[in-house]
Chain A
Amino acid sequence: MKRIRPSRWSGQLLQARRGAGIPAARTPLCLAIRCQSTSSVPASDSSTLDSSSSASPPPPPLPAPSFDRAPQSAKLAALHARLSLSKKIPLQTLARALVTPSADANPNFNNANLAYLGSTIINFHVYEYLVCKWPRLPMAILYEALRAYAGDESLQQIARRWGVEAAAAPGEEVDPGLLQWKAGEGHVVNTRWGYIRSEAAKGKAWRRGLSSRVVLDSDFGDQVSSSDPERLEYNALQSEAFGSVVQAVIGAIYTHCGRDEAKAFVKSHILSRELDPSKLFQFKLPTRELAMLCAREGFEPPIARLESETGRLSRTPVYVVGIYSGKEKLGEGAGASLDVARRKASMASLKAWYLYSPGNKVRVPSDMMEQGAKPWTAPHIDIGEII
């Protein structure tokens, strides 16, 4: 099979080669010794093998494809072009973004560092967008909304829609344009950051409130496990591997092209995804919560009023109940019984409170980093959750 890549052979290839020296130059204190040139080693090996059998044995195969082969990979070049990445990002960096720690444990050759950098950038941009767009979202919903955009499952979907494919098994001979990962032992979780709590030893059921999660736990409010990391399922490991590709690509963009490019990339690939935050709510005592909200905000206590009904004596009645505070209507719901309709109306009113949005074109703090940005006007800041 011949592959035709005329455009790559002429211009971009040379540019990629020129940038290939960057990772080596940036890690002068690299302690790991690994042979990066695969072309010359076998030739010298075959000549010396006859003369002295006690010479150095052939080096063991690399755990992942060498980055020298990155410019020859058509898949990699196609992925580079498909994402319309800048020419400043060499193919070698993109190849490195596809090597997960499960394939190559050496941090100088896998994507762990780039992925951690990328995850911080993604989470920052998604989080500031969520907080400015829906300033009243409760903390639990905010965490799940962040996970819906930037969690591993979501990032895995993104990577798959970029056309990233996994190799059957990682190895030296594999095409560098394929994702190198395997589900097995020796797995390192590298993109989570948090404190190990003192009460973690008491088990999973023992959990503190939400506010301490902001400081102590990971970005998604998950508890960081202590000495023994929990065994992840195959699917979770897979989504983490695919997700790390997206994170590493964004880390690479930040490294080579800078802040603004990375932000534009996050905006177009991650924030452009569609999420309805009203689907995230699960209530427990909506009527009581609404009454407490009205008491806290100084509104008149909420009263349910029957707006219309039909078939009260039939098998399928419909009641439409509206919740009013004074003369103002807060929300309404329809149900097959008066109680269900009232609870639905309370939930609708609470959602109307929580899903307040200043508008679709909200400004986020990172907009101020652009050149010639307009003066900052403070966004709406909510006083907090209803306890």
Chain B
Amino acid sequence: MTVKALRAIADGKNGLGAFVLQCKKLDFHYCDWAGSSKGMNGFIKSLLPKFAAAHPQIEFAVSPRPGKHPVIVGHYINGRTKPICVRNLSPYEILQKVELLRDASGEKLRRTNKAVLSTKPSVRGIWSPYHGKGMAV
């Protein structure tokens, strides 16, 4: 009975077990009149229905924004948003941007210089000068 317990919360690891797509909503803003929205209008007419059918886990919202450049805004589970301006882009270029938004995690972009980031401690432990037999130099 001398052991007491401390409070802790288990840490979630997305993809370990279940994977939840981090992009939860995509906003499409277009303009009927402006020339920069030409590709966006084509995208909404031709490619968006198929893309939306393939991704039921994302909420899609299409709304006009007259007199402005077309914009796609991705909303993410961590609360951040990622807007991309798609003026003068062709429908297939816009599709690439949409796929980029779908695959993003919503985190700020950061440089990774390690292939794997592990949360587990090292199997062999942290090297210590007081342990082991040592090596004759």
Contacts and interface: CB of A to CB of B under 8 A. Distances in A.
Contacts, number: 146
Contacts of B21: 82
Interface in B36-90: 48-49, 52-53, 56-63, 77
B130 A78 contact: no
A308 B130 contact: yes
A109 B6 CA distance: 37
B3 A140 contact: yes
A366 B6 CA distance: 29
A161 B77 contact: yes
Nearest to B11: A274
Interface string B9-22: 11111101110110
A219 to B, nearest CB: 15
Contact of B10 (A7, A77, A81, A273): A273
A82 B24 contact: yes
A153 interface: yes
A134 to B, nearest CB: 13
A1 B61 contact: yes
Interface residues of B, number: 38
A141 B20 contact: no
Nearest to B16: A272
A151 B9 contact: yes
Nearest to B60: A4
B52 A273 contact: no
A323 interface: no
Q: How large is the interface on A (under 10, 10 to 19, 20 to 34, 35 or more residues)?
A: 35 or more
Contacts of B14: 161
B111 interface: no
B114 interface: no
Contact of B56 (A3, A8, A268, A350): A8
Contacts of A268: 17-18
Interface string A139-151: 0110110011101
A108 interface: no
A273 B13 contact: yes
Contacts of A281: 3, 5-6
Given A279-B6, A284-B2, A7 B56 contact: yes
B4 interface: yes
B56 A284 contact: no
Given A7-B56, A140-B4, A1 B9 contact: no
A75 B1 contact: no
B115 interface: no
B11 A273 contact: yes
Contacts of A148: 7-10
A318 interface: yes
Nearest to B76: A163
B131 interface: yes
Contacts of B10: 148-149, 154, 273-275
A134 B21 CA distance: 32
A78 B24 contact: yes
Interface of B: 1-14, 16-18, 20-21, 24-25, 48-49, 52-53, 56-63, 77, 119, 128, 130-131
Closest 10 CB pairs of A and B: A272-B17, A81-B56, A273-B10, A144-B5, A268-B17, A82-B57, A275-B10, A268-B18, A81-B57, A284-B2
17 contacts: A4-B60, A7-B56, A77-B59, A78-B57, A83-B20, A138-B3, A140-B3, A140-B4, A141-B3, A148-B7, A209-B1, A272-B12, A272-B18, A280-B6, A281-B6, A308-B130, A387-B1
